[in-house]
Structure 1
């Protein structure tokens, strides 16, 4: 992917300080609440669910399908390519449901443990939980519309259920939240880019309207959580953030999709992992958030750097 991330420092070599006052944070939350009230959308009412899919339109942009540009893609018929894009959309939506669920769990815990319960920040975060629930509903309805069953990952679901709330509620949660919010925003933007089924375009547009605010809040929240944290906590948050990048990169290539297509699974997986489409997905999901997190003070330890390099991100040469 060739993504570069930077490390701005103060004149004495320390991390850049961006700590804001409690009043500033409350004002930000209040502004987001007002914005959300002005452009709130309902996934049940604002999408034409009764309209059938349009023949000839892909479910995902071709450049987002993992085998696009490979020999396996060339060998597929137009009907098979459409089927592959439909299956990969279902797989992507299933992963998005898991990500939204994790974000809901972490956000609601933060309201209970860290927020003032009745202040604007708490109200904004509860609004975020409500938006995650709306997104999950939209994604589920779109899966139903494809006529395919969801690609449920039972082991992943059990691990998320068991370990999500064990993530420390501090800088580590901030890093995980930023990476997941960024991945959802980037991938949904990519999925709706170009000529795709109207339902896909409508859902991605509704998702992006809210995700812009979620992402802005996640960035500011990470900066606040990192303020005054020492190298050990920053390293822990860095490893957690890099872990999200690594895990999502692996999960976006699902052997079950190729198996259901009747393709040779090992060959298809190898091709997908080195395809331009997979690199484009990873760029869309993480380029901006990795760079921002690095500028905020993360990814300065050897372990997280190594994890990001293996995922395709690198530091610029000096």
Structure 2
């Protein structure tokens, strides 16, 4: 395919996504009833998706502690999601800075930034509404994250975006259909899932185009970058401070979660689709295999 055809194809995709964005979008400020009371006795995430589910520590917890852990874990996931979406916005704006703003591609990137601004505000409001701290990633990961918009480029950049988005997407799709979960959490998840589908399409096509032009010399760096970023994403989803918040020993619980086969299964399940795609595109391989295994995305 010639460069002109590739550009034309990219523009067609961007135009379709722009039309879809104009046709269907949500404003969490008005589409969510933030004043509605939380429902006593309902969980905040499906029980089997809690990081300690299936451990001896979980068996010793009271039903109230388990619900409270789900509350703090959903706050951790949301605040880590917010952190990564802010990094994503920086990366997209960096792309726009180098682009012709009159192209549909650049205009859709700006539209996605607008979506992510609303999503970040929505996640922040949910964390505040359920009465949890904005955990975010651990401090060293937070500082390392500042490097990603600087060192990230090419298919690994968009692939890293996909790992974060698609892991969260699969978890949220399950949660929004679970009537045992708080209505507020389900509505936040529903809005994010519906709008994130466009972002996933955009990023997937960028990965395919990028891999078609990447050189053999660049490929090891691309594989290392996406594997390392993915490892930090999956291992940051649950901040260890959530365990202390529900009366558990933080270090003991964190160790139990990291060694929990059920939690490993949850991460692997949430990343099935994106890992298959990345493998097909050639982004899963040496020198990133150790990081992929540490991410729990590979068995």
Q: Same-fold call, TM > 0.5?
A: yes
Q: Please report how far the alpha carbon of residue 174 of structure 1 lies from its aligned counterpart in structure 2 after TM superposition.
A: 2.4
Q: Which residue of 2 aligns with 1:13?
A: none
Unpaired segments ≥5 residues, structure 1: 1-16
Q: Please report how far the alpha carbon of residue 177 of structure 1 lies from its aligned counterpart in structure 2 after TM superposition.
A: 2.2
47, 67, 86: which one aligns with 2:52: 67
Contact 1:183 1:286 in 2 (8 A): yes
Contact 2:156 2:283 in 1 (8 A): no
Aligned residue for 2:30, secondary structure, equals: coil
The root-mean-square deviation of aligned C-alpha atoms, in Å, is: 2.1
TM-score by length of 1: 0.86
Q: Please report how far the alpha carbon of residue 214 of structure 1 lies from its aligned counterpart in structure 2 after TM superposition.
A: 0.7
Q: Which residue of 1 aligns with 2:104?
A: 120
Partner Cα separation in structure 2 for residue 87 and residue 314 of structure 1: 26
Q: Which residue of 1 aligns with 2:194?
A: 209
Partner Cα separation in structure 1 for residue 261 and residue 22 of structure 2: 39
4, 14, 25: which one aligns with 1:40: 25
Between stretches 197-206 and 163-172, larger displacement belongs to 163-172
89, 94, 118: which one aligns with 1:134: 118
1:1-318 pair list within 5 angstroms = 21-113=6-98, 115-152=99-136, 153-161=138-146, 163-194=147-178, 195-301=180-286, 303-314=287-298
Partner Cα separation in structure 2 for residue 154 and residue 314 of structure 1: 26
Contact 2:141 2:232 in 1 (8 A): no
Partner Cα separation in structure 2 for residue 86 and residue 310 of structure 1: 26
Q: Which residue of 2 aligns with 1:12?
A: none
TM-score by length of 2: 0.92
Partner Cα separation in structure 2 for residue 314 and residue 197 of structure 1: 31
Contact 1:64 1:280 in 2 (8 A): no
Per-residue deviation, residues 177-227 of structure 1 (Å, max 9, x unmatched): 222222332333244341211110001000001111111111110111111
Q: Please report how far the alpha carbon of residue 313 of structure 1 lies from its aligned counterpart in structure 2 after TM superposition.
A: 4.5
Per-residue deviation, residues 241-263 of structure 1 (Å, max 9, x unmatched): 11122112221242211122221
Contact 1:60 1:192 in 2 (8 A): no
Contact 1:245 1:286 in 2 (8 A): no
Higher relative contact order (Cα pairs below 8 Å, separated by 6+ residues):
1
Partner Cα separation in structure 1 for residue 222 and residue 133 of structure 2: 35
Per-residue deviation, residues 12-41 of structure 1 (Å, max 9, x unmatched): xxxxx9996211110000001111111111
Unpaired segments ≥5 residues, structure 2: none
Q: Please report how far the alpha carbon of residue 84 of structure 1 lies from its aligned counterpart in structure 2 after TM superposition.
A: 0.8
Partner Cα separation in structure 1 for residue 60 and residue 15 of structure 2: 54
Instruction: Give the aligned length.
Output: 296
Q: Which residue of 2 aligns with 1:3?
A: none
Contact 2:166 2:274 in 1 (8 A): yes
